[in-house]
Amino acid sequence: MIDFNIPLFIGRELDYIREAVENKKICGDGKFTELCSRWLEKKTGTNRAMLTTSCTHATELAAMLTGIREGDEVIMPSFTFVSTADAFVLRGAKAVFTDIRPDTMNIDENLIEDAITERTKAIIPVHYAGVSCEMDKIMEIAKKHNLFVIEDAAQGLMSSYKGRALGTIGDYGCLSFHETKNYTMGEGGALLIKDEKNIERAEIIREKGTNRSKFFRGQVDKYTWVESGSSYLPSDINAAYLWAQLECADEINKERLNVWNLYYRQLKDLENEGLISLPYVPKGCVHNAHMFYIKVKNLDERTALIDYLKKNNIQAVFHYLPLHSSPAGKKYGRFNGEDNFTTRESERLLRLPMYYGLGEEKIIYITDTIKKFYGKV
Ligand SMILES: *Cc1c(COP(=O)(O)O)cnc(C)c1O
């Protein structure tokens, strides 16, 4: 079976984990957390990066920092992972879902203003497949209506929009290092903070509501409980695993792009014949080959293709069931406007195996199998 995903293991992870253990520092904010955080800051150009236990937790932290509370509304696409909504719903806010653009599967920036009410507090763009949302327009709307922008850049490390790293354009950016992402620590994430004035409070909330970070820097002589918070620090063991990968992120990224580009070339004929659609990357967007998806005619064709690929030992999978159709989505959210594309396009989308080290031979086998399904070999 060709797996859909194989969690990245690049080689030095276990050496670094051993080092963390031998350093007798395996709790949060040790050497490897420090290395990863500084690397993220340098690579993305953000003011401050903080490792967290997940992207979901980074988003929760952002929701607390922006003071989202009961009765507030937060605008996001319905075509996203549950965490995008959960982080805000947990604070008592309502998720206001808007339709997506069929070309990128990202929030349609032209539908956002219509969803704004006097309760709206934030816009949450989700950069699907590591391809950026139309951030200039989104930031302009946010500025005009005085809204926060929290980027769900879970899939977006190493991607950019007009030269700016995803996750650094809005007030906050949330990254994921879950094992399904391009770089991983098993479970983990990071919060990117644009504005220096928000750093201190983020440190406090992340550290159980204490000023312990200040204490460690010698800025206070005792640490104490200063506000409500939680515990969002990952163990340095996990950070050690991640560091091995960040260290050679450019090489990993290049290799993933090779996989992506070969898929694209191999399947271009099917697109030209109008049988499938391939991903679209708008001008000004640099992507990170997080995902390779195709879109087929409809749900029935997708089900048949998944079956066919499975019979040929290829694991291909669909993606999000639109949140507004889920039980919790109905309870905690509402869809603003018409669902022209969210449901229809999500039913057409099929993700192909994608991981570091998926070699040429396998990709050609996969694409040939798809061509056979369409009677094109
Ligand atoms: C993976 C993912 C998340 C959640 O990341 P975790 O680190 O598992 O919490 C959130 N949003 C999107 C778009 C994702 O792809």
Residue-wise DSSP of 317-356 = B--PPPGGGSHHHHHHEEE-S--SSHHHHHHHEEEEP--T
Render pLDDT for 288-346 as a digit per residue (tens, 0 to 9). Answer: 999 999 999 999 999 999 999 999 999 999 999 999 999 999 999 999 999 999 999 99
* Cα 89–chain centre separation: 18
For residues 249 and 255, give the distance between their C-alpha atoms in angstroms, rounded to a whole number: 10
Phi and psi (nearest 5°) for 126? -115, 120
Q: Which among 123, 138, 46 has a CA at the least distance from the CA of 84?
A: 123
Render pLDDT for 225-275 as a digit per residue (tens, 0 to 9). Answer: 999 999 999 999 999 999 999 999 999 999 999 999 999 999 999 999 999
For residues 171 and 182, give the distance between their C-alpha atoms in angstroms, rounded to a whole number: 23
Contacts of 67 (CB under 8 A, 6+ apart): 121
Determine the residue of 50, 55, 76 to mutate for testing ligand 1's pocket, defined as the one with the most ligand atoms within 8 A of the Cβ atom. Answer: 55
- Per-residue pLDDT, 41: 98
User: Per CATH, the architecture of 13-246 is what?
Assistant: 3-Layer(aba) Sandwich (3.40)
pTM of the model: 0.97
Residue identifier of the C-alpha nearest atom 2 of ligand 1? 154
- Per-residue pLDDT, 148: 98
Residue identifier of the C-alpha nearest atom 6 of ligand 1? 55
Render pLDDT for 130-145 as a digit per residue (tens, 0 to 9). Answer: 999 999 999 999 999 9
Distance 84 CA to ligand 1 centre (A): 8
* Atom of ligand 1 at shortest range from CA of 127: 13
| Element holding 225 (H helix, E strand) | none
- Mean pLDDT over all residues of the chain? 97
Rounded-to-10 torsion of CA 109, 111, 117, 119: -50
- Per-residue pLDDT, 175: 98
Rounded-to-10 torsion of CA 112, 113, 114, 115: 60
* Atom of ligand 1 at shortest range from CA of 57: 9
Q: Which residue ranges does the chain devote to CATH 3.90.1150.10?
A: 249-373
Q: Which among 222, 297, 216, 264 has a CA at the least distance from the CA of 25?
A: 216
pLDDT bracket for residue 377 (50, 70, 90): confident
Distance 81 CA to ligand 1 centre (A): 6
**Contact (CB, 8 A) for 282 and 131:** yes
Q: What tokens were used for 368?
A: 């040939």
Distance 57 CA to ligand 1 centre (A): 10
Pocket lined around ligand 1, Cβ cut-off 6 Å: 54-56, 80-81, 83-84, 126, 152, 154-155, 176, 178, 189
Determine the residue of 50, 51, 57, 81 to mutate for testing ligand 1's pocket, defined as the one with the most ligand atoms within 8 A of the Cβ atom. Answer: 81
Look at residue 120 and give its three-state secondary structure: strand
CA distances from 182 to 9, 51, 56 (A): 11, 16, 17
Render pLDDT for 344-375 as a digit per residue (tens, 0 to 9). Answer: 999 999 999 999 999 999 999 999 999 999 99
- Per-residue pLDDT, 309: 98
Say which residue the tokens 């006097």 belong to. 118
For residues 63 and 58, give the distance between their C-alpha atoms in angstroms, rounded to a whole number: 9
**Contact (CB, 8 A) for 276 and 270:** yes
Determine the residue of 54, 60, 83 to mutate for testing ligand 1's pocket, defined as the one with the most ligand atoms within 8 A of the Cβ atom. Answer: 83
Q: Where do the DSSP E strands lie in the chain?
A: 48-52, 73-77, 94-98, 120-123, 148-152, 160-161, 164-165, 172-176, 189-193, 285-286, 292-295, 333-335, 349-352
Distance 181 CA to ligand 1 centre (A): 9
Distance 265 CA to ligand 1 centre (A): 29
- Per-residue pLDDT, 239: 98
Render pLDDT for 175-220 as a digit per residue (tens, 0 to 9). Answer: 999 999 999 999 999 999 999 999 999 999 999 999 999 998 899 9
For residues 332 and 93, give the distance between their C-alpha atoms in angstroms, rounded to a whole number: 8
Distance 148 CA to ligand 1 centre (A): 20
Distance 222 CA to ligand 1 centre (A): 36
Q: Which residue ranges does the chain devote to CATH 3.40.640.10?
A: 13-246
Domain 249-373 has CATH 3.90.1150.10: yes
**Which long-range contacts does 132-136 make (Cβ < 8 Å, 24+ apart)?**
132/106, 132/156, 132/159, 132/160, 132/161, 132/166, 132/282, 132/284, 132/285, 132/287, 133/104, 133/106, 133/107, 133/109, 133/161, 134/106, 134/109, 134/282, 135/161, 135/162, 135/164, 135/169, 135/170, 136/162
For residues 201 and 102, give the distance between their C-alpha atoms in angstroms, rounded to a whole number: 38
Percent of the chain with pLDDT over 90: 98
* Average pLDDT estimate for 37-53: 98
Determine the residue of 155, 180, 183, 184 to mutate for testing ligand 1's pocket, defined as the one with the most ligand atoms within 8 A of the Cβ atom. Answer: 155
* Atom of ligand 1 at shortest range from CA of 80: 13
* Atom of ligand 1 at shortest range from CA of 189: 7
